[in-house]
Amino acid sequence: MNKPGTARVFTLLSLAVATVSPQPAMSYDVEVIPVSVYNDAPSIEAFDVIAGVSGFAIEDFEDEGLILSYALGGGQGMSVLPRLFNRSEMGFNGGQFWLDDPWDGDHVLSNYIGNDGTEQGGLDVEELRLIFNGGPGVVGIGLSNLQSNANLQVNGVTIESLFQLPLQSGLGRNGYIKITAQSGDAPILSVGFVDGTLATGDSITVDHVAFGAASAPTESPMRTNNSSEVPTNTEQKYGECSVLPHNGENRLDRIDLAVPGRGDIHFQFNRRYRSRIRYDGPIGHNWDFSYNERLAIQPSGDVLRQDKGRTDIWTINPDDSYTSARGFFGSLIKQPDDTFVIREPNGFKRMYDANGVLTEYRDRHGNQMLFEYDGDGNLDRVIDAYGRLFDFTFADDRLASIVDFTGRAVVYGYDTNGDLVSVRTPVVTGTSTGNDFPAGRTESYTYSSGFTNLDLNHNLLSVTRSQEVADGGNPYYTWTYGEDPADPLNFDRALTQNMGGTNASGVAAGGAYTFFYEELNTEAPPGDATIERLKATVTDRAGNIEETFYNEFTQRIRKRELTRGLRLGEPTAYETSWVFNDDDLLISRILPEGNEIQYVYQSGGSRGSQRNVIEMRLVADPGRGGGEDLVTTYSYDPLFNQPLSATGPRGNATGFTPPIGTASAARYTTNTFIDYQESNDPIQDAVDFGIDLSSVSRGLGDLNGDGLTNQTAGNIVRIAAPTVQLLPGSNEAGNFGATSQPVITEMQW
């Protein structure tokens, strides 16, 4: 019997055609470091430095040979993806590699369907994909044995053909690919190599993978997590930390303990620091943590929700329903027993008691996480989907430790001001490699204090990493803030962020970011989202300057990246602009060349459906031209907001003529079917939250051959990709007995 949230997948293909549903286009930058540099560098890790991929080498593959490979088409002797990895540098001490086995709890190498050298439906494999659940902003990949016209995909979208890149074809080292998420792109969640030619015996090998620090998604219009909050594009990353240029807030995020669970229920203790709030919470001033959620019921009936260091309001309506806050798409209901439930667009639910205390998480599969509290109202225990216990200990209403079901403990320390000054990770002993930490690893923090103006106290001044704490070294980050109340534009805002310094080696490293703020158009009347109200100028460690402009709703609407005269004929700045709707959803992005990406969102229906992208339009710039717009359209199910259909540009183009057959939208549409479409039975969530299911076909019967029609978890059970059109008289048409070849995927849960 399958666990909830896991699937058995059956692919029914007669051609080795990798089908990917159309996704919104992105502008990821793909840079190739040529084979000459690749061969001359002293080590494979040197490419990370050369390419500027600052982060963590996942796997060099040097000790095992070139082992991460796949072969394309109908050739024999397909490369087998080995099950054994050398992961000693990551503290895993070797171990077996299985499908979706995490490298470090967040990052997964996915050996896709049949991608182990065996055959699938009489065909060889056609895809290798690296999945980065942490969402890095930059990935570096070393290539060798390049014998294929494979397509390079990012987040499931084809970016380039490898043959179109300046790589060395054939055997041996071929080059290093650096993929960078540009401003406006979603973080890199996956990188795939997908067959583009079906050529016999073609193959490709990856011999190195590295990635940079995780970056928060800043403006992807597609759903990425269980939260109904949509970012307003104000956050920018400078190293691991964030400074919000629209208000100068310094923000720091940390994950202290993460344990995979089941379905969408996983234990992950996150901390977030915000410099521009005044909050004396369970883990010190201005820090908040996951699971520290509360609802506060107001005398008017409105409901305030505290989460992630912020407060948002659900407004009560005359019929006792609630309207969610701007940029939030979850639905709140009050149950007959006076308890509350917030349901996210994908079916994830948060349960609160009548006093607004968080009691349970529940995913769409029915997996649960339970929360228990002590007599003082402090979180006492978390019970995950497997019944495993995570115990919380408090002292003087401050979190002192978290101990998981194996006895691993995270320990927190505070100063006399109530500020969080140290966090110690679990003790590690007895490893086979000697990679032990008998005293754990401690990160320390310092803060401002002693100011009569309370806004200036508890500002984070420094972060010292564990190695420097152990060695008595310098902080890794330091900040300065505006302290003059007579200068309200800079008061209490981050002005500098310094990284690194000079350690015992005597060699300076790192550098400083500086932030400068200017008010604009102060005389203009309010209410116009197109008017720039604030200009934030950021100078990075290399002296590069970026100017960002915000409207009164804190939406980033324009950015200028100043050039430095390094290239002949380049402009003084490259400019990008954005337009958002009233829910802070991106509706237009105009790139420096003048080409534009437009998004249209679903209107009407449930609140959760109103952030679904139903149309993405690529508009050519006037200077270069490019024919009619490239339009991709989407539809979704109303209950879980899963994609039901995606029609590519050829299906929406009036001027396109296919080489075989006639043009139609259906010919270029992928249709997806959800489990609850198999029957007509009522669904409790639809009843409770007033979700109208009339827009989706139901009562379709068993769609995946599992003999069941009673599942309502929102799982995809069938995907019908565009039908392949075969030439009359071709061998394949003769073998198949028709010129139309369906491509169907069925999934059983």
| Bridge partners, residue 68, by sequence | 206
Q: How confident is the model at residue 683 (pLDDT cuts 50, 70, 90)?
A: very high
Which residues, in sequence order, are CB contacts of 565 under 8 Å at separation 6+?
A: none
Distance CA 377, CA 721 (A): 52
- Measured in residues, the chain has a length of 749
The Cβ-side half-sphere exposure at 239, using a 13 Å CA radius, reads: 18
What are the angstrom distances between the C-alpha of 270 and each of 218, 266, 288, 390, 406?
A: 19, 12, 8, 14, 19
DSSP letter assigned to residue 678: G
CA distance 345 to 351: 15
Q: Cβ atoms within 10 A of the Cβ of 418, count?
A: 17
Please check whether residue 256 lies inside any domain of the structure: no
- Whole-number mean pLDDT of the chain? 78
- Rounded Cα distance between 400 and 288, Å, is 14
Looking at the 3D structure of the chain, how many domains does it have? 2
pLDDT tens digit sequence for 561-605:
999 888 888 899 999 999 999 999 999 999 999 999 999 999 988
Q: Which of 195, 212, 229 is the last residue of a domain?
A: 212
CB 633 within 8 A of CB 615: yes
- Which has the closest alpha carbon to 32: 131, 140, 157? 140
How many other C-beta atoms are found inside a 10 Å radius of the C-beta of residue 578? Answer: 20
> Would you say residue 744 has pLDDT above 50?
yes
Among the ranges given (216-225, 287-296, 383-392, 573-582), the one the predictor scored with the smallest mean pLDDT = 216-225
Q: Is 277 helix (H, G, I), strand (E, B) or coil?
A: coil
More reliable by pLDDT, 708 or 206: 708
pTM, two decimals, is: 0.70
87 within a domain of the structure (yes/no): yes
Q: Which one-letter DSSP state was computed for residue 118?
A: S
Q: What is the pLDDT of residues 281-321, one digit of tens each?
A: 999 999 999 999 999 999 889 999 988 777 888 999 999 99
Q: What tokens were used for 436?
A: 């032990």
Tell me the sheet residues that pair with 315. Answer: 323
Q: What is the mean pLDDT of residues 155-177?
A: 66
Q: What is the DSSP letter of 650?
A: H
Cα–Cα distance for residue pair 263/6, rounded to 1 Å: 7
Pairing of strands 294-297, 596-601: unpaired
Q: Could you give the CA distance from residue 218 to residue 232 in angstroms, rounded to a whole number?
A: 7
Task: Examine the fold and report which residue of 165, 193, 212 is the final residue of a domain before the chain moves on.
Answer: 212
Given a cut of 60, whether residue 250 has pLDDT beyond it is: yes
- Give me the pLDDT at residue 396, please: 92
Which residues are registered as beta bridge partners of 666?
none
pLDDT at 125 over 60: no
* Structure-token pair, residue 88: 């000693």
**Residue 160: left if φ>0, alpha if ψ -120 to 50, beta else—which one?**
beta
- Residue 481 falls inside a structural domain: no
- Mapped onto helix, strand or coil, the DSSP state of residue 498 is strand
Q: 376: exposed, middle or buried (C-beta count within 10 Å: 0-12, 13-18, 19+)?
A: exposed
Q: How far apart are CA 313 and CA 46, in angstroms?
A: 50
SS3 label, residue 296? strand
- Determine contact, residues 611/230, Cβ cutoff 8 Å: yes
Domain edge (last residue) among 194, 212, 230: 212
Spatial contact of 510 and 541, defined as CB atoms under 8 Å apart: yes
For residue 139, name the pLDDT band (cuts at 50, 70, 90).
confident
Range of 728's domain?
Answer: 585-748
- Residue 637 in this model has a pLDDT that exceeds 90: yes
